[in-house]
Amino acid sequence: MWYFRSPEIVFGEDALDHLDTLQGKRAFIVTDPMMLELGFVDLVAAHLTDAGLTVGTFPDVEPEPSVQTIRTGAEKMLAFEPDWIVGLGGGSAMDAAKAMWALYENPGLDPADINPFEPLGLRRKARLIVIPTTSGTGSEATWATVLTDTAENRKLGTGSPEMVADIAIVDPALPAKMPPRLTADTGLDALTHAIEGYTCSLRNDFSDAVCLKAAQLVFEYLPRAVKNGDDAEAREKMHNAATLAGLGFGNAMAALAHSMGHSLGAIFHVPHGRAVALFLPYTIQFIQRGDAETRFHEISRFLGLPASTPDEGAISLVTAIRDLSREVGQPLSLKETLGDGVSRADFDAALDALVANAEADSVIAMGDRIPTTDEVRQLFEYAYEGKNIDF
């Protein structure tokens, strides 16, 4: 027994118009200052007002939203009493909206106590709409939320199946203004979701289907979207790819590259997509060297890459990911990622914490090979130097 959970997905040109048909009284938008600046908050609020709703806004979600922000937003929500919550923005805003919703429905709940194993009792007060403005996080399609515990410098990856949004508006006009670097970072996050979703231990026929399609779209359209932000077709395909990949890993799981990427993000504040995509080729090499049967070659075969054996398929996939990363201007080693501002000594000093954080991330155990503590350390070290994995 297993589930495939999905919001109602409204996609394509003018998808935002769907908001005009909402039934309800009060909508509360959870978003970030950039969305205000870009005019997206006004745009969404206008649609909600057209639908006859009174609109409130919490525009203060920061990148990597903290537990404190969640508490503050939930308090504002309790005062406003919405029957619709609208998460507008990238992964941070949508994740924050989900977590605030959980606290709004359960006042006093500690965000750390949100978990997928116990009922959360959502939808007694409100339902959730998510509107992604980047193409990558997939948060619009998943039940996960990643918060930062600023006191412990640690990411808190949690969620509940009830936190899958009711409606996801996947309108390609919104990500059209993303600068190239953000387009690349988020697009490679989507690719990592597709590949880890397809190869993690909770994979299934339903998630497989969307993961393969998502991976194909990213390889085909990400370079175009990065090179020319006005390429409307590439923007639309990448927006769809991100949501498909979200459905894929959201109904399966993420894996090792995400545990390492979360850890790196918490300590060195590398953007999420850049971090996970950096580690992805190394983790594929590592998993492929294990005893378990793998299926990276199935992805390669679907993409039309050389894959006559599982090993050849895995190598092809690693090469294709690195070629794509280069094409869209992404770093291939951790050293290159961290840049001149971080010395080898800084990296070495952080290594224990990087390893401990990655090991404490539940998705570390979701691949076909689970690394020991020493192997996690080596993975970070090899990734730092840009060395192929040989253990």
Q: Which one of the spans 16-24, 110-118, 174-182, 187-195 is the region binding Zn ion (CB under 5 A)?
A: 187-195
d(CA 263, CA 268): 9
Tokens describing residue 337? 């990622």
d(CA 103, CA 25): 20
In the block, residue with structure tokens 């895995």: 314
Binder among 189, 208, 361, 368 for Zn ion (CB under 5 A): 189
CA neighbor of 209 nearest in space, from 251, 167, 256: 251
Q: Which C-beta is closer to other proteins: that of 136 or that of 159?
A: 159
Rounded to a whole number of angstroms, the minimum distance from the CB of residue 156 to other proteins is: 8
**Total of residues contacting other proteins (CB under 8 A):** 26
Binder among 15, 255, 366, 383 for other proteins (CB under 8 A): 366
Element (H, E) at 9: strand 8-11
Q: Which C-beta is closer to other proteins: that of 136 or that of 265?
A: 265
d(CA 35, CA 60): 10
Binder among 359, 377, 381, 386 for other proteins (CB under 8 A): 359
Q: Which C-beta is closer to other proteins: that of 161 or that of 180?
A: 161
Q: Which long-range contacts (CB under 8 A, 24 or more apart) does 37-44 make?
A: 38/133, 38/177, 40/88, 40/133, 40/174, 41/88, 43/16, 44/16, 44/19, 44/86, 44/88, 44/131
Binder among 49, 68, 72, 201 for other proteins (CB under 8 A): 201
Residue 118 within binding range of other proteins, rule CB under 8 A: yes
Sign of CA dihedral 283, 150, 164, 202: positive
Q: Which one of the spans 34-42, 88-96, 286-294, 357-365 is the region binding other proteins (CB under 8 A)?
A: 357-365
d(CA 371, CA 256): 9
Binder among 21, 115, 228, 343 for other proteins (CB under 8 A): 115
Residue 251 within binding range of other proteins, rule CB under 8 A: no
132 to 171: interface string for other proteins, x by CB under 8 A: ------------------------xxx--x----------
> Which SS3 state, helix, strand or coil, does residue 377 take?
helix
Residue 361 within binding range of Zn ion, rule CB under 5 A: no
Which residues of this protein are in contact with other proteins, per CB under 8 A? 1-3, 112-113, 115-118, 156-158, 161, 201-202, 253, 359-362, 364-366, 370, 372-373
